[in-house]
């Protein structure tokens, strides 16, 4: 079952990357010693059986945010970190995000969910910490009800 989440997230990341970042070839940011990959998409993209395993609530008004942090060196080793932060809509309303760690073999993902309305635009500010290493990930996403 875990394998299926990895495959789904990779496919979604590839699709989202092609649609939104075709020039750079990937939706990630280099932050300090890390390569931080991120994607936010409607939770209904996840199959019900997979959502159940990971405690993801599927709803047409609920997004899933997936973050993975890799070492920026040649090893690209998945990093255990702490992630906290918020999403803010264009009206300035903030929603705190709570991330859940998922470990699948050598891969580590951090998942959070966010309620939204059709065509909401959210600006994300996420603090990523590992010991004394702190980085801030910022990105923006527009959501549609499907």
Tell me, what DSSP letter sits at residue 41?
Answer: E
Q: Please state the φ and ψ torsions of residue 9, each to the nearest 5 degrees.
A: -65, -40
Domain with residue 14: its CATH number is: 2.60.40.3340
Give the count of alpha carbons within 13 A of 6, CB side only.
10
Provide the residue range defining the domain that includes 66: 2-142
Radius of gyration of the chain (CA): 15
The answer to whether residue 140 scores a pLDDT higher than 50 is: yes
Q: Given this model, what pLDDT does residue 31 score?
A: 97
Domain total in the chain: 1
Signed CA dihedral, 26, 115, 128, 6: sign only? negative
The answer to whether residue 57 scores a pLDDT higher than 80 is: yes
Q: Please state the φ and ψ torsions of residue 133, each to the nearest 5 degrees.
A: -85, 120
Give the count of alpha carbons within 13 A of 15, CB side only.
9
Least confident interval from 1-5, 86-90, 113-117 = 1-5
- The verdict on pTM exceeding 0.85 is no
pLDDT one-digit tens code per residue, 12-54: 444 444 444 433 445 999 999 999 999 999 999 999 999 999 9
Q: Under a CB-based contact definition with an 8 Å cutoff, are residues 87 and 113 in contact?
A: no
């Amino acid at each position: 079952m875990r394998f299926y989440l990895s495959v789904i997230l990779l496919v979604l990341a590839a699709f989202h990357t092609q649609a939104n970042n075709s020039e750079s070839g990937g939706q990630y940011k280099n932050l300090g010693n890390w390569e931080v990959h991120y994607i936010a998409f409607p939770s209904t993209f996840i199959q019900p059986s997979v959502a159940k395993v990971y405690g993801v609530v599927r709803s047409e008004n609920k997004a899933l945010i997936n973050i993975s942090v890799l070492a920026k060196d040649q090893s690209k080793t998945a990093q255990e970190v702490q992630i906290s932060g918020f999403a803010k809509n264009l009206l300035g309303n903030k929603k705190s995000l709570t991330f859940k760690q998922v470990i699948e073999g050598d891969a580590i993902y951090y998942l959070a969910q966010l309620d939204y309305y059709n065509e909401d635009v959210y600006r994300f500010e996420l603090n990523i910490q590992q010991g004394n290493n702190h980085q801030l990930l910022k990105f923006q996403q527009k959501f549609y009800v499907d």
